[in-house]
């Protein structure tokens, strides 16, 4: 048998970790019908494959660092039942890897739904398809209706992260250990774990996770390269970013990149952008679906007062891409907002749009030049010929 060539690359060279751009950008959740919006406007993705390919190729062309999907198994009810139609993220990532050239392609996994042995094999396969561009977004699993479809009960918050801790340790062991290895834990017990081929990226592909709670942030600090956090005012963001990074260094001796999620509404003027935001998010809102979703998220909380100003604000943030930070205004205004978040220490943002194709084209024409001028992005370098599927 001929010797297998060494294809290994250092994961720190991955676009989401290693490009020259000061502020990284990911296209978030276009694998979902409707994207992350809970409205009945026309424009969000329909979860049709030809559309998925167009959006992925466009994000690749304009220089985004990553495609990050949302893992969803059923909708949220209401009149539009948002997010009821979606592409499964590992097989989606394999398809995206085959039609793109430079961009990192992530899969998002709900820990209780996929065994680490299966995830290790699927992830390594996609890393080879992409030529070393795979990444994994790890979610502990929170939606009881979805978990019930797998015959799994929703665990208490901190225990979900105990399971996730064993899950990711076993996954990394399979990705890094030659031959058989055993794993003994409370939730996973493997006698002769084995997975070949290994991922192309060494020691393993980039890992991201989200964390609003101290437990979620500690999990990310211990296991992830990037964490998604909720952000508000840039001054508050700076304090949050500093706190998370210091915790990762002091507790785990690791460097953790901090990202946010943004929903972009860009128009010629700030007034036009605000009007478009109101039209899409408020006038066409599916409030019933938002209430259904918030009830699941707050399942163990006190009785929900939907008429309180605090809850109305929370529901609006849910309607606009599941708590994404709103970036609303002219190109100049949005570029300034992104610069403020970068100055506050954020290293990137996963962005959503009401219309992804229109939004990415608008980014290419109007936002990218301003971000280059601000020192946050560099001019896009065209991919070498024939890099798809790792063919150089």
**Residues 109 and 118 sit within 8 Å (Cβ to Cβ):** no
Q: How far is residue 185's CA from residue 194's CA, in Å, rounded to a whole number?
A: 17
Q: Is the pLDDT of residue 104 over 60?
A: yes
Q: Average pLDDT for residues 212-235, to the nearest whole number? A: 92
**Residues 26 and 67 sit within 8 Å (Cβ to Cβ):** yes
Q: Is the pLDDT of residue 65 over 90?
A: yes
**Better-predicted residue by pLDDT, 200 or 293:** 200
Q: Which of 32-41, 73-82, 244-253 has the lowest mean pLDDT?
A: 73-82
Q: What is the mean pLDDT of the chain?
A: 90
Q: Is the pLDDT of residue 188 over 90?
A: yes
Return the structure tokens found at 102.
């430079």
Q: How far is residue 164's CA from residue 143's CA, in Å, rounded to a whole number?
A: 15
Evaluate the omega torsion of the peptide bond into residue 94 and state whether it is cis, within 30 degrees of 0.
no
Comparing C-alpha atoms, which of 156, 165, 167 is closest to residue 113?
167
**Residues 40 and 79 sit within 8 Å (Cβ to Cβ):** yes
Return the structure tokens found at 48.
């049709």
Backbone angles phi, psi at 316, to 5 degrees: -65, -40
Q: Is the pLDDT of residue 8 over 80?
A: yes
**Residues 83 and 76 sit within 8 Å (Cβ to Cβ):** yes
84 Cβ partners below 8 Å, 6+ apart?
33, 74, 75, 76
Q: Average pLDDT for residues 196-216, to the nearest whole number? A: 95
User: pLDDT class for 324, splitting at 50, 70, 90?
Assistant: confident
Instruction: Please give the pLDDT value at position 388.
Output: 42
Q: Average pLDDT for residues 25-34, to the nearest whole number? A: 94
Comparing C-alpha atoms, which of 242, 174, 227 is closest to residue 204?
174
Q: Average pLDDT for residues 99-104, to the nearest whole number? A: 98
**Residues 23 and 334 sit within 8 Å (Cβ to Cβ):** no
**Residues 280 and 39 sit within 8 Å (Cβ to Cβ):** yes
Q: Average pLDDT for residues 44-53, to the nearest whole number? A: 93
Arch. (CATH architecture) of 15-379: Alpha-Beta Barrel (3.20)
pLDDT, tens digit (0-9, with 9 covering 90-100), for 227-273? 999 888 788 899 999 999 999 999 999 999 999 999 999 999 999 99
Instruction: Please give the pLDDT value at position 298.
Output: 67
Q: Is the pLDDT of residue 12 over 60?
A: yes
**Better-predicted residue by pLDDT, 389 or 6:** 6
Compute CA 141 distance to the chain's CA centroid, rounded to the nearest angstrom.
14
- Stated pTM of the model: 0.92
Q: How far is residue 268's CA from residue 374's CA, in Å, rounded to a whole number?
A: 19
Q: How far is residue 358's CA from residue 210's CA, in Å, rounded to a whole number?
A: 27
* Token pair 């708590």 in the structure block, residue: 323
328: three-class secondary structure by DSSP: strand
Distances (CA, A) of 277 to 187, 227, 303, 363: 45, 27, 30, 17
Instruction: Please give the pLDDT value at position 255.
Output: 96
């Amino acid at each position: 048998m001929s010797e297998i060539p060494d294809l290994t690359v250092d994961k720190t060279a991955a676009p989401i970790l290693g490009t020259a751009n000061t502020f990284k950008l990911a296209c978030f959740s276009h694998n979902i019908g409707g994207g992350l919006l809970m409205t009945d406007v026309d424009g969000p993705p329909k979860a049709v494959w030809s559309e998925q390919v167009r959006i992925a190729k466009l994000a690749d062309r304009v220089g985004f660092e990553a495609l990050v999907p949302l893992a969803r198994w059923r909708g949220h009810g209401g009149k539009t039942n948002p997010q009821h139609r979606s592409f499964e993220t590992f097989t989606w990532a394999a398809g995206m890897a085959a039609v793109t050239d430079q961009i990192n392609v992530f899969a998002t996994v709900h820990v209780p739904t996929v065994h680490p042995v299966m995830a290790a094999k699927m992830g390594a396969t996609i890393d080879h398809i992409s030529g070393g561009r795979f990444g994994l977004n790890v979610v502990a699993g929170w939606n009881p209706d979805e978990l019930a479809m797998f015959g799994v009960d929703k665990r208490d918050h901190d225990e979900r992260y105990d399971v996730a801790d064993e899950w990711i340790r076993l996954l990394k062991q399979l990705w890094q250990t030659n031959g058989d290895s055993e794993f003994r834990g409370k939730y996973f017990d493997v006698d002769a774990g084995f997975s070949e081929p290994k991922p192309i990226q060494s020691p393993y592909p980039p890992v991201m996770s989200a964390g609003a709670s101290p437990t979620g942030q500690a999990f990310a600090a211990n296991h992830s390269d990037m964490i998604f956090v909720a952000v508000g005012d840039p001054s508050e963001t700076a304090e949050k970013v500093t706190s998370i990074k210091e915790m990762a260094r002091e507790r785990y001796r690791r460097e953790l990149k901090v990202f946010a999620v943004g929903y972009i509404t860009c128009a010629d003027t700030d007034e036009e952008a605000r009007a478009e935001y109101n039209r899409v998010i408020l006038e066409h809102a599916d409030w019933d679906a938002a209430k259904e979703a918030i009830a699941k998220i707050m399942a163990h909380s006190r009785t929900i007062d939907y008429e309180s100003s605090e809850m109305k604000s929370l529901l609006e943030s849910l309607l606009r891409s599941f708590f994404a930070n709103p970036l609303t205004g002219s190109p100049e205004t949005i570029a300034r907002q992104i610069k403020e978040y970068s100055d506050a220490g954020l290293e990137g943002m996963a962005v959503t749009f009401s219309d992804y194709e229109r939004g990415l084209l608008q980014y290419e024409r109007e936002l990218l030049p301003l971000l280059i001028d601000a020192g946050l992005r560099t001019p896009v370098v065209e991919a070498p010929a024939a890099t798809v599927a790792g063919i150089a």
